[in-house]
Amino acid sequence: MSSKKAKTKNEASSSRGGVSGESVVADCGRNKSTCGYCKSSTRSSISHGLWTERLTVNDYQALLDRGWRRSGCFLYKPEMKKTCCPSYTIRLKASDFVPSKEQQRVRRRLERFLDGELDAKPSEQTEDQDVSFSREVSVSVRKSLGVAKREQNNEVEPIMKDLAEQIENAVQRCIQSGEFPSNIQVPKASVKRVLSAKRKKLAEGSEELLYTSNIAFPIVAAIKRTETSEKGKNVEENRLSPEAVSEKLLSAMNKVEEFTGFSVKVSKGHINFLSATRVTSSDRNEGEESLCATTTKSSSNKLHARKRKLEMHLKRSSFDSEEYELYKRYQLKVHNDKPESISETSYKRFLVDTPLIEVPPSGYDDEEKVPLCGFGSFHQQYRVDGRLIAVGVIDILPNCLSSKYLFWDPDFASLSLGNYSALQEIDWVKQNQAHCSTLEYYYLGYYIHSCNKMRYKAAYRPSELLCPLRYQWVPFEVAKPLLDKKPYSVLSNFTKDSLSSSSPQAYETLVESTSEHEDMEQGDTNDDDDDEMYNSDEDSDSSRNRNDITNILISLDGPRLRYKDIPRIKNPVVQKQLESMLINYRKVVGTELSERMVYELR
């Protein structure tokens, strides 16, 4: 796009105040803090920060494509060679997205929930029935009382499918939290009915064992296969046992209380589901026929049950008390935040405040189409029968939908709303390409290969990572072997063509040589030069010095001047400090943005 056309696009953006279509930033410099990913006790997380209250969507899109992100009105970019956990911007092209089996399962599960097949209210209740039981478990327990006849065949009960899916959800949570390796081939969970003859033998106390799963054993085998295939790794060291795996899964299930009403215990690596109260054989025989009839009637009525209504509402970013109450519940329950750490002020600063200048659908020329909602910052609400169950905080930009944060109702944890919302956002990008042809990508934020909690993002395929040196997009399967070697890597050193044309032996050699080449480059590079030394994206005019700050646009309490037009500062120390700041600023945002955005001197 020509610079003239880019200028036209920026000037077309509407503003809520100040100069239309103008980005103004204040340089916060280098920031050091403790790291929430590796839990380092030192201030090992290093980034460069900018503060802005006015930013055009085009400029923020350009910043995203240079590795920046925002938290409210604060922009930050990790110093990749120096920070403890290098963070790579990750994206995928929505039209190329291929959902995995697990992602397809998330969709199906929510559809079953909306169709009333999950968490369905029983058609009848006895007077002595505990009305505080969850609706799904109430149906499940009543069904379990009439299984004696069905034990004669191999029929799979619906509740067994539900329990298996929820175990698989727990497995995914353990992978995302780093308790299980992210690269294992996850086995399919199965839940089996315990035969009546074995129940008395296996049951403990006053509870009756109804269902069991041995998922821990194939998980251990999968971990062993993965560790054995990795060179130089001691496969016996810290290996998980079936008992340890089942305990981790139980902890993941208890955290979100997916099985309220069941007593879930582990024994010798098995996950066992027990009834809350023991039912004697005489009780079961006397009530078996009537309960079976009730179950059949309930299944029949389910076909005519009113379906739940899921509504998604996209609104401009603004404070909403209902959203704030949901956010508090989410942070307290899911992230175990302390109540005193949550306030309206911190919530607004994090998820409501935005510097992005709103662009309505009519904000551009006719040739520059925008989605029906326009560009800017939004909150995507998810409601079931009017109840707010999740809120996605997103930015909609000329080239992408950028996902910022999602918070959801802990009561609906079993629906995997994080995964479901991501799938919905990807679909939204596909659908809105008809209104905005440039809107092609879904940005998932940062990917940290050294942090297992972040590796789930790579499950959205085919994804790309941003090279921290040349700002080129590199396929994840190309970047992964480099990141397996070390956390920071110049991803564009290893091209997709090299991958496809190399034999396995040549491939390993190339990865090794690439790493050695990076070490040589970085060893000879002055720290002050950092990422821009080899940046082919720096400027089309290669003759210009990369430290040329003459055309940086500066604000001096109102007037906008190029640095070259500012009267010379009399104090040489002050001038040297300012020029050093401008040089660093130009490095982190690039030449084009440094000459387009306004650098505010405070």
In sequence order, what are the beta bridge partners of 27? Answer: 50
Contacts 24+ apart (CB under 8 A), 299-304: 301/123, 302/116, 302/117, 302/120
pTM of the predicted model as reported, rounded to 2 decimal places? 0.65
pLDDT in tens, 489-543: 999 987 544 554 444 444 454 445 444 444 434 443 344 444 443 343 444 443 3
Q: State the pLDDT at residue 346.
A: 96
pLDDT in tens, 248-304: 998 888 765 555 456 888 998 999 888 654 433 333 333 333 333 333 333 333 333
What is the share, in percent, of the chain residues with pLDDT greater than 70?
A: 70
Contacts 24+ apart (CB under 8 A), 126-134: 133/260, 133/261, 134/260, 134/261
Q: State the pLDDT at residue 300.
A: 35
Contact assessment for residue 199 and residue 280, using Cβ atoms and an 8 Å cutoff: no
Q: Are strands 598-600 and 553-555 parallel, antiparallel or unpaired?
A: parallel
**108 residue type, one letter:** R
- Angle value at C-alpha 588, between 584 and 592, nearest 5 degrees: 105
d(CA 442, CA 93): 6
d(CA 589, CA 471): 11
Q: State the pLDDT at residue 435.
A: 84
pLDDT in tens, 181-210: 888 888 888 888 887 655 554 545 546 788
d(CA 522, CA 225): 36
Q: What is the average per-residue pLDDT within 61-86?
A: 97
pLDDT in tens, 139-169: 333 333 343 344 444 445 677 888 888 898 8
Q: Where are the beta strands (DSSP E) in 419-459?
A: 441-447
Q: State the pLDDT at residue 368.
A: 58
Residues 6 or more apart whose CB falls under 8 angstroms from that of 490 comprise: 467, 468, 469, 470, 514, 518, 521, 534
Q: State the pLDDT at residue 166.
A: 87
Q: Is the pLDDT of residue 122 over 60?
A: no
Residue count (the chain): 602
Provide the 3-class DSSP secondary structure of residue 362. Answer: coil
Q: State the pLDDT at residue 238.
A: 62
Question: How would you class 591 by CB atoms within 10 Å of its CB: exposed for 0-12, middle for 13-18, buried for 19 or more?
Answer: buried
Q: Is the pLDDT of residue 428 over 90?
A: yes
Would you give the DSSP letter of residue 548?
-
Q: What is the average per-residue pLDDT within 107-134?
A: 57
**DSSP codes, 264-279:** EEEETTEEEEE-SS--
Alpha carbon 278 to its chain's center: 42
**DSSP codes, 287-354:** HHHHHHHHHHHHHHHHTTSPPP-EEEEEEES---HHHHHHHHHHHHHTS---GGG--HHHHIIIII--
pLDDT in tens, 587-597: 999 999 999 99
pLDDT in tens, 168-179: 888 988 888 888
Minimal CA–CA distance to 110: which of 392, 384, 305, 323? 384
Q: What is the average per-residue pLDDT within 364-387?
A: 86
Would you give the DSSP letter of residue 584?
H
CA atoms within 13 A on the CB side of 370: 22
Question: How would you class 155 by CB atoms within 10 Å of its CB: exposed for 0-12, middle for 13-18, buried for 19 or more?
Answer: exposed
Contact assessment for residue 91 and residue 426, using Cβ atoms and an 8 Å cutoff: no
- What is the pLDDT of the chain when averaged over all its residues? 78
**């998810």: which residue's tokens?**
382
pLDDT in tens, 11-62: 333 333 333 589 999 999 999 999 988 888 899 999 999 999 999 999 999 9
d(CA 456, CA 474): 18
Minimal CA–CA distance to 266: which of 248, 282, 284? 248
Q: Are strands 441-447 and 400-408 parallel, antiparallel or unpaired?
A: parallel
Contact assessment for residue 16 and residue 358, using Cβ atoms and an 8 Å cutoff: yes
Torsion-angle region of 376 (φ positive above 0: left; ψ -120 to 50: alpha; else: beta):
left
